[in-house]
Amino acid sequence: SCEYFDDKKEMPTAHGIPRRSPVQSCEYFDDKKEMPTAHGIPRRSPIQDSSHYDILILDPKKTIDNPDQRIAQDVDSMLFQLRKVFSNLLIMPLTASYYTYQCYVLTGYSAPLIMLGYFIVWAVFNKVLMSPVINTVYKVEKCGGDFRFKHMH
């Protein structure tokens, strides 16, 4: 195909009307890393850059199969979870504020104060009740991780 571009200045199109060739020779494709584009701005060839495949080279036993697919799935999963978290972070306070205002309109200042007191009492109760449970779960998980680590090496 290089000979076609070298010798002729025009290329036929599907309609038979000749047009000028955007590439006059194949010198761009011989030894250079830059390829011409439609706008004349050179861009790097994705084939020349090997950094994309470093993860495969650094894994001599080939234990990681399809790293691109794994990364794409991890990103998709992470964004799905972030969407759920951020939607709750935005919706919950607005919903609580709306119902607090509605209670204030219907009953006066006593209902929002009772709601706030109820929240504070149960937050303190949860903190006191869950602290020992959280510490115990942490210790169990740490011991399990240490056990697996010692038996792997």
Using a cut of 0.95, tell me whether the model's pTM lies above it: no
Q: Are residues 63 and 91 in the same domain?
A: yes
Domain coverage including residue 103: 52-107
Cβ neighbourhood burial of 23 (10 Å; 0-12, 13-18, 19+)? middle
- Position 17 in a domain: no
- Position 3 in a domain: no
- Position 133 in a domain: yes
Give the per-residue pLDDT at 112: 93
Give the per-residue pLDDT at 70: 75
Go through the chain and tell me how many residues it has: 153
Give the per-residue pLDDT at 119: 93
Grouping H, G, I as helix, E, B as strand and the rest as coil, residue 120 is: helix
Over the chain (153 residues), what is each successive 10-residue block's mean pLDDT?
48 55 49 56 57 59 69 86 92 93 94 94 95 93 88 78
- Position 119 in a domain: yes
Number of domains in the chain: 2
- Position 95 in a domain: yes
